[in-house]
Structures are given as structure tokens and as C-alpha cells.
Amino acid sequence: MDADHPLHVRADDTAPPDDHLVAELTKLLDSVTGLEAMAERMALLADPRRLRILFCVHAHPGVRSSDIARAIGASDSTASHALALLREAGWVRPRRAGREVRYELADGFAHSLLHDLGSDHLPGIHHHEHAPET
């Protein structure tokens, strides 16, 4: 976004009076539910290790925690602890495959956000709606 071309513009050039603007913003914020929980969830992304883990899970859904640990250069216990925090916050979900636990993103919000942050999929990983015809 640049200053000459903002993402959003007012429909007209007249700005509302300050008191009216503050009242409208307050009303908007009061209508938002779960703002504190959302902030807590997003705070987990401030840690580079947890963000790397999410990039790994996004790049290859179904990755094992031990493979994540090796990819990010962490111990298995460190990766497991970070995955537990991400699981509690609703970023990832475990999927048991026999004796192994594999991880995938918990929802479409996480998936879309990771794309917006620049994460990509490994070769051979496709979205369901973009999967090659068989």
C-alpha cells in the first residue's frame, strides 16, 4: 500500500466531525466479539520459531513433529511444546496416523493468513479446489 493509493477511501471527500467519528469507531469496536481472544491467538505469531512451524505445516499438511523439529533446527521437545501452544490457540490440529501424530492447519483462516504472509506449499501439495484432475 502506498500513500497515493490507499486500500480504502471514503465515498465522499467530507470527513465526519471528530465526535461522530469517535462514536462510530466505538460502536464498531463494541460490536466485535472475541477481540481479546483473537489478540492472544495472534500474539503466538510474534515468535519466529512458532511462525516457522506454521510455515512447515502449511507447506506440507500432515508433517510429523519430529520432521518439523529437524527442519527448524530445534529439539523434539521444543517443537512439541510449540505445537501444543499452537494447538491450544487453534492454529494447528493433530491427526493420528497409527503411532505417529501428524499436524495440519486447523482452519481456513490460518491457511489464508499464511499465504498472505508469504508461505507456500511444497511441490505436489495442492488446494482441494486446485487439485489436478486424475
Q: Does a structural domain hold residue 85? A: yes
Among 121, 115, 3, 103, which Cα is nearest to 63's?
103
Domain holding 87: CATH number?
1.10.10.10
Q: Does a structural domain hold residue 5? A: no
Q: Does a structural domain hold residue 75? A: yes
| Partner residues linked to 105 by β-bridges | 92
Q: Does a structural domain hold residue 1? A: no
* Spatial CB neighbours of 94, under 8 Å, sequence gap ≥ 6: 83, 87, 101, 102, 103
The pLDDT score that the predictor gives to residue 11 is 67
Count Cβ neighbours within 10 Å for each residue of 66-90 and write b for 16 or more, e otherwise: eebbebbebeeeebeebbeebeebe
The pLDDT score that the predictor gives to residue 134 is 45
Q: Does a structural domain hold residue 58? A: yes
Neighbours of 108 (CB within 10 A): 8
Among 21, 27, 92, which Cα is nearest to 53's?
92
Q: Does a structural domain hold residue 109? A: yes
The pLDDT score that the predictor gives to residue 132 is 46
Q: Does a structural domain hold residue 83? A: yes
The pLDDT score that the predictor gives to residue 123 is 86
The pLDDT score that the predictor gives to residue 125 is 85
How many independent structural domains does the chain possess? Answer: 1
Does pTM surpass 0.85?
no
Query: What cell was used for 42?
Result: 495472534
Domain range for 69 is 38-121
pLDDT tens for each residue of the chain, 134 residues long: 565 666 666 667 777 788 988 999 899 999 999 999 889 889 999 999 999 999 999 999 999 999 999 999 999 999 999 999 999 999 999 999 888 999 999 999 999 999 999 998 898 887 765 444 44
The pLDDT score that the predictor gives to residue 21 is 87
Q: Does a structural domain hold residue 72? A: yes
